Structure 1
Amino acid sequence: MIDEITNFLFGLKMTIISGIFLLISIIFMILGINTPIYLNPAWGTVIISGIPMLLLAMTRLIREKWISSALLIAIAMVASLLIGEVFAAGEVAWIMALGALLEDWTVERAKKGLKNLINLTPQTGRRITNGIEKVIPVDEIKIGDILRILPGESVPVDGEIINGTSSLDQSIMTGESLPIDKEVGDEVFCGTMNLYGAIDIKATSLGENSSLQKLIDLVKAADEKQAPTQRIADKWATWLVPVALAIAIAAWLVTGNIERGVTVLVVFCPCALILATPTAIMAAIGQATKYGVLIKSGEALETLGGLNTLVFDKTGTLTYGNLEVSDIISLRDDLPSEDLLKIVASCEKLSEHPLAKAIVKYAKEAEIDIEEPQEFKMYPGKGVTSTNSYGKIYAGNSKFLSEHNINVDVNCQLDKLKHEGKASIIVALNDEVIGLIGLSDMIREDSKDMIERLHELGTETILLTGDNSETANYFANQVGIGKVFGNLLPEEKLSWIEKLKNEGKKVCMIGDGVNDAPALKTADVSVAMGSVGSDVAIEAADITLLGDDIGKIPYLKKLSNSTLFTIKLNIAMSMAINAAAIICSVLGLLNPVTGAIVHNAGSCLVVLNAALLYDRHFDDSIKKIDTEYTEHSHYHFHNDGEHTHSHENVKIIDEIVTDNGIKHMHTHKHSITRQSCELHHN
C-alpha cells in the first residue's frame, strides 16, 4: 500500500501539480502577498512530494536498513516546517521528486523481450498414432511420441529424426546464418523452423527440459541478476546525513539560533547531486538518438566508458545476416561464368531453399535470363534436379550427386569455400560436374574499421558465435578480431560472458539474435542491432543501433566518457555550491528561504551544464541518421585480357580466369554518401 502511494505521488502528473503549488508560492513572495502559514500554497508541494519522500526515507531506513539521501531531505523538510518555513520545506521536497522522476526515466528497462521469447514456443504438434495424424496441444506430447513437422512449421519439442530429410533454420538457437541439413538420426531443437520436406521425429525432451525453455530460463535468470541502481547521492548518504546533522546542531548550539541550523540542513540537501547523473544521462541519450542510437539504460551509459572488453556475435552483427552469391566457379574452359549462373539459377528457380533463392535473386539482379525448369524435382536436404535447354541439371551437395552416380572430384574447391565460411552448391550437367556456386554471409563494410578504432581505444575484442570454428576464424581474421570461440549454444555464450566478468573484465556484448539474449542480459552493457535484430535481443539489450551501423560503437564509448566527465563536473560544482552555502548559513548570511533559493540555483546550474552535452560533437566519422545514401554499381568483365566498364544500378560482376582455368565471379558494390565514396568488396 505504501509503495503504491509513493509511486503515484512521485509520478509525472503529481510532480507537475506539486511544482505548480511551489510556483504559486514563489509568485506570492515576489508580489509581497502575505498569507497565513497554513494557507501557504507550498503546503500542496509538501503534501504531494514531501509525504511520499518521507515514507520512502522511513521505508529504506526501517525495512531495508538503508540510509539514503531521502532521509537527509526528509529531516530538512521536517525541520523547516517546525520553524514555519513552508516554502523551504516544499522546495527541497519538490527537487527530490523531480530528481527521482528523471532517474526513473533514464534507468527504466523494457520487459517485453521475455514475453516475445515465450511467444516463440510452439503451442501444438502433429502426433502420429497408428498411422493417424492428430494436432494436439504441446502439453499433451510425451517422450517417445512420434511427431510430424511439415514445411514452414516450428519443431514443437526437442527430438530425433526417424524419417525424412530437410533443412532447418536453427538461428533461434545458434545464430547460424545458413540452414542446416538434417537427416535420419539427427537432433532437432524446439522452436527451430523446418524449411521444407516433411520429417517425423521422436520426442526426446519436453517442457522445462526443452532447449527453447532452457533459453527462456537463461534470460529470466540473467534479468534477475541485474542489481538495482543507486543514485550517487544515495551512495554517499551514509556520511552525508551524520555530517549535515552535526554541522546543523553545532551551528544552532554555537549561535543559539535554530534558524541557522535549519538553513544548514536545507542547503546541505544533495538535490543538485541527485540531478547530476540523470540530467547528464538524459542529454547524452538525446545526443545518441540524433545519430540513430537508442539508449534504454542510464546505468549502461555510465558503465560503457569503463569497458575494456567488447564481445561480438557474428551473424547479423559483424555481417549482414543475408546469404549472397560470393563465388561462381566454372570447371570448363568453354563455359563462361554467366552461363553457369544461368544454368543453376534456371534449375533452382522453383526451389524454396534459402540457398536457391539467393542464387535466383543474384541472377535476376545481374539481368540474366532465367529459363523455366522442366521436370523439376526437389530432394529435401540434398539438392534439386531439372531439365532445361542445356540438358539434365543436378544442383546439390556431394552426397546428392554421388547418389546419382556422378563423379565428384572437387574437394579442393569445396575445402577452400568451407575454409572461408561459405556454403557451396555443386552443379552437374548431363552426369558431369561443371562448376560450383559459393554463398556467404557478407561482412559489413565498416566492421574492420570499427574494430581497429576500438583497438586504438585500448579495448579488447572477442568473437562468440554459433557458427563452426572454421567459419568463425575466417570472419574474425577478415575484421581483425584476435580471440574467437565457435560452435557455441546460448548457454555457452552466457558462460563465456560470466567467465570474462569473473576475470575482472568489464564486458559489452553486441549481438542481434534470440540466441544472444541471455548473454546480452548478463554482460555489463549490451548492444543490439535494431533493424535486423530479433525483438527479444533488442528488448534484452541496453542499447540499440537503429540503423544497424556497427561503426557507431567507438562513438558510444566516447559519448560515455564525456557523460562521465560531465557527471563528475556536476558533482564537483554541486559540492562547491553546497560548501559555500553551508558557510553562509552558519554565518547567518542565509535564512531557510534564501538558502532554498541558492540551493535551487545550484540545481539549475547542474541542469544547464548537463544540457550542453546534447549538442557536443564527438566523432567526424559519425553522421546523423538523415544522411542520404545512393548506390551505384559497375560491371567489370575480365576475360582473356579484355576489359569493359559500364555503369548500372546493379551489383558488379567480376570474372577472373585463374592460371588453372577455373573461372570465378565476385561482386563489389559502391556506396556513395554526401561525404564520402568507398569501394566495398563483397
Structure 2
Amino acid sequence: MDKGPGDEVSSGTVNQFGSFDMEATRVGEDSSIQRMIRLVQSADARKAKIVGVADRWATWIVVIALATAVLTWFFTGEPMRAVTILVVFCPCALVLATPTAIMAAIGNATKHGFLVREGDALERLSAVKKLTFDKTGTLTYGTPQVVSAVSFTKEYGEDEIFELAAAAESRSEHPLGKAVVRSLKEQKKKEVMPADEFEMIPGRGVKSVVKGKKILAGTPELLSENGILMEEWHRREAEIYLNQGCTVIYLSEGNIPAGFLALSDTIRKEAGEVIERIKEIGSEPVLLTGDHKSAAMHIAGQLGIMEIHAECLPEDKLNWVNTYEEEKKRVCMIGDGINDAPALKRAFVGIAMGGIGSDIAVEAADIALVSDDIKEIPHLLALSKKMMSTIHYNLFFSMFLNFTAIILAVTGILNPVVGALVHNAGSLAVIINSAFLLKWSAK
C-alpha cells in the first residue's frame, strides 16, 4: 500500500523505498507488534495437548502382568509359569507402537520438505477437518505480475503498451514499478527501452520520456492532474480487472490516455491440484485472507474453494479459528505472514511457509514447509492418516500378542525361552511395520 503524510503505519511492516519521518502514537505494550505477540501468547494458552494412549495402557498392563504372575504362581504352584508371564507380558511392543511410527513419519515428512517442530503435530493433523489458507504467499506467489495489457488507441498494440510502461518504470523503486520491468523480461523476453527525464511522484506514479514521447504511468489522479482525461469506457475496461482484485497502472502518451496494465498476485501453478487432492482426502479448504472480497472471491473461484472470509485482520483470523474449534471442527491453518501468527498458534495444527514466511509465523507454527512447495501438503495430510492407521495396527497387534502369550503362559504351553522369542518377535514386527512409513507415498 502507498502511504502519504498523515497516514498510519504499523510496527512490523516494511518500508519498500524512500524515507519518511514517523511519529510514534502508541509505544511499548500498545504497539502493533506487542499486541500481535499477546495474541500469539493467548492462543498458545488455549491449545490442547494430546497424551499418548499407549503410555496409559502400558502402565495398567504392567500392573495386570504382575498381578497375573502372582496369582498363577499361587494357584498352580509353578514359579516357571509366573516367570514366563513376566517375560511375555512386558509391554515393549506396545510402548514402541506409537513413537516408532511417529519418528518414521517425521522422517518421511522431512524428505518432502517439512520440518515437524512438535512431536504430536502429525497425530493432531490426522484429525483435521478444515484447512484454512492465507492467500498471499501461500496460495499465490506473493509477488505481483502483469496479467494483462490493454490499449485505448489503435496507434499502440498491447505489447507496445507493456514496453512503454516498463520503460517509464525502469528507474522506479516502487514494488509495482519493479514488477512491471521484471514481468516484461520474464514474460516477453525483451530488454527495457531506455528512458530519460525520469521523475517519481509519491503516491501517484512516474513521469518519463521514452523515444522522445512524454509518458505518464500511475494512478488516474496522476493523469487528471496533468490535464489528461479518460473517457467512461476507459474506466469500464479497467473496472473489469479491478473487480478481480487486480491493481491497475494507467498509461498516457503526450496528452492522450494510451492504455493500462493490470497486475495481480498470481496463483501458484500447483494450487488448484492441491485443493482438489485435499478435498479427496476428506478435508474442507477455507480461504482466510486480509485481501478485499473481490480479490478473495476471484482467487477462490479459480481454485474451487467454497468458503471464503475476506478483509480479515489478525484478530479476525484468530476468531474464525476459535469459532471452528468451538464447533468441534479441527482446523489446520496454513500461512506465511506476521498477521497469520496468532491463528497459526491457536489452530489445532499450524503450518508456516518456511522460506518466505516471517520469523514469528514460523515460530508460532507446529510444522514449517521449508521449500514453500504447497504441492506436498496433501502428502503430509495423507501421511498423518497413514501414520495413525499404522499406530492403531501396532497397538492392536501388540495387545493381541501379549494377551495370547499370557494365556499360553498360564496354561504352561510357553516356557521362558520361547516366551522371550515371542516377546522380541512382537517388538521387531512393530518396528518393521513402522519402518514402512519412511518411504510411504500417497497414491
- TM beyond 0.5: yes
2:149 is the alignment partner of 1:325: no
Shift in CA distance, 257/209, structure 1 to aligned 2, threshold 3 Å = farther
CA deviation string 1:538-566 (max 9, x = no partner): 34333333433322322222222222111
Aligned match for 1:352, one of 170, 173, 188 = 173
Larger Rg: 1
TM-superposed deviation, 1:260: 4.3
Q: CA deviation at 1:373?
A: 2.4
Pair 1:393-2:215 in alignment: yes
2:161 is matched with which residue? Answer: 340
Helix, strand or coil at the partner of 1:307: coil
Matched, 1:599 2:423: yes
Which amino acid counterpart does residue 374 of structure 1 have in structure 2? Answer: D
Task: Give me the TM-score of the superposition, normalised by structure 2.
Answer: 0.91
Are the counterparts in 2 of residues 233 and 270 from structure 1 also a CA contact under 8 Å? no
**Which residue of the partner structure matches residue 279 of structure 1?**
100
SS in 1 for 2:150: strand
Contact 2:54/2:395 (8 A) holds in 1: no
Q: For the Cα contact (< 8 Å) 1:196–1:380, is it kept in 2? A: no
For the residue of structure 1 that corresponds to 2:398, the secondary structure is: helix
Structural mapping, 1:224-373, within 5 Å: 224-237=45-58, 239-240=60-61, 242-257=63-78, 260-261=81-82, 263-365=84-186, 366-373=188-195
Output the amino acid matched with 1:521.
K
Which residue of the partner structure matches residue 403 of structure 1? 225
The aligned residue for residue 349 of structure 2 is: 525
For residue 219 of structure 2, what is the amino acid of its counterpart?
A: N
Change (3 A) 1:424 1:577: same
Partner of 1:436: 260
Structure 1: how far apart are the matches of 2:284 and 2:439? 30
Change over 3 Å in CA distance of 1:452–1:328 after alignment to 2: same
Structure with greater strand share of residues: 1
The one-letter amino acid paired with 1:393 is: I
Aligned equivalents of 1:590, 1:526: Cα separation in 2: 49
Instruction: Output aligned runs, 1:172-191, within 5 Å.
Output: 180-191=1-12
State whether residues 231 and 274 of structure 1, in contact with CA within 8 Å, keep that contact through their aligned partners in structure 2: no
- How many angstroms apart in 2 are the aligned matches of 1:221 and 1:265? 47
> In structure 2, the residue corresponding to 1:233 is in which secondary structure?
helix
Task: Mark the runs of 5 or more structure 2 residues left unpaired by the alignment.
Answer: none
Q: Quick check: 1:383–1:397 contact (8 Å CA) kept in 2?
A: yes
Give the corresponding residue for 2:384.
Answer: 560
State how far apart, in whole Å, the 2-side matches of 1:277 and 1:570 are: 8
What is residue 477 of structure 1 aligned with on the other side? 301
Summarize deviations over 1:594-613 as a string: whole Å, max 9, x none.
Answer: 64554333212110111122
Instruction: Decide whether the 8 Å contact of 2:62 with 2:91 is kept in 1.
Output: no
The corresponding residue for 2:269 is 445
Pair 1:489 & 2:316 matched: no
Q: Which residue of 1 aligns with 2:323?
A: 499
The reply on whether 1:195 has 2:19 as its aligned counterpart is no
**For 1:273 and 1:617, how far apart are their aligned partners in 2?**
25
Q: CA separation in 2, counterparts of 1:489 and 1:445? A: 27
1:46 is matched with which residue? none
State how far apart, in whole Å, the 2-side matches of 1:600 and 1:296 are. Answer: 32
Q: How does 1:577-588 map to 2 (within 5 A)?
A: 577-588=401-412
Preserved CA contact (<8 Å) 1:232 1:274: no
Mean alpha-carbon deviation: is it higher for 430-439 or for 578-587?
A: 578-587
Aligned-residue CA RMSD in angstroms? 2.4
Does the aligned pair in 2 maintain the 1:197–1:380 contact within 8 Å? no
> Which among 199, 207, 223 is matched to residue 377 of structure 1?
199
Corresponding residue SS for 1:364: helix
Rate the CA distance shift 1:418–1:589 in 2: closer, same or farther, 3 A: same
Question: Contact 2:379 / 2:441 at 8 angstroms: preserved in 1?
Answer: no
Please report how far the alpha carbon of residue 398 of structure 1 lies from its aligned counterpart in structure 2 after TM superposition: 1.5
1:614 maps to which residue? 438
From 356, 360, 369, the counterpart of 1:536: 360
- Cα 1:580–1:472 change in 2 (3 A) is same
CA contact (8 A) 1:278 1:298 kept: no
What is the correspondence of 1:109-188 to structure 2 with a 5 Å cutoff? 180-188=1-9
Give the match's secondary structure for 2:24. Answer: strand
Paired residues, number: 440
Kept in 2, the 8 Å contact 1:396–1:427? The answer is yes
Letter in 2 for 1:385: K
Q: 1:432, CA displacement in angstroms?
A: 1.9
The code of the aligned residue for 2:154 comes to D
For residue 464 of structure 1, report the CA deviation from its aligned partner. 0.4
Deviation at 1:517, TM superposition (A): 2.0
What is the CA-CA distance between 1:480 and the residue it aligns to?
Answer: 0.7
Distance 2:276 2:191 in 1: 42
Aligned counterpart in structure 2 of residue 460 of structure 1, from 284, 295, 298:
284
2: CA distance, partners of 1:400 / 1:471 = 24
Deviation at 1:262, TM superposition (A): 5.4
> 5+ residue gaps in structure 1?
1-179, 620-682
Deviation of the 1:315 alpha carbon: 0.9
Question: Does structure 1 conserve the Cα–Cα contact (< 8 Å) formed by 2:94 and 2:398?
Answer: yes
Q: Determine if the alignment matches structure 1 residue 220 to structure 2 residue 44.
A: no
Give the TM-score normalised by structure 1: 0.61
State percent identity of aligned pairs: 47
Q: 8 Å contact 1:343–1:390 — kept in the other structure?
A: no
**Residues 113-161 of structure 1, C-alpha deviation per residue, up to 9 Å, x if partnerless?**
xxxxxxxxxxxxxxxxxxxxxxxxxxxxxxxxxxxxxxxxxxxxxxxxx
Give the deviation of 1:266 after TM superposition. Answer: 4.5
Higher relative contact order (CA 8 A, sep 6+): 2
Q: Which amino acid aligns with 1:234?
A: D
Match of 2:399 among 559, 565, 575: 575
CA distance in 2 between counterparts of 1:428 and 1:538 reads 44
Distance of aligned partners of 1:458 and 1:602 in 2 relative to their CA distance in 1, 3 Å threshold: closer
Task: State the Cα distance separating 1:342 from its structure 2 match.
Answer: 2.1
CA apart distance, 1:452: 2.1
What SS does the corresponding residue of 1:278 show, helix, strand or coil? helix
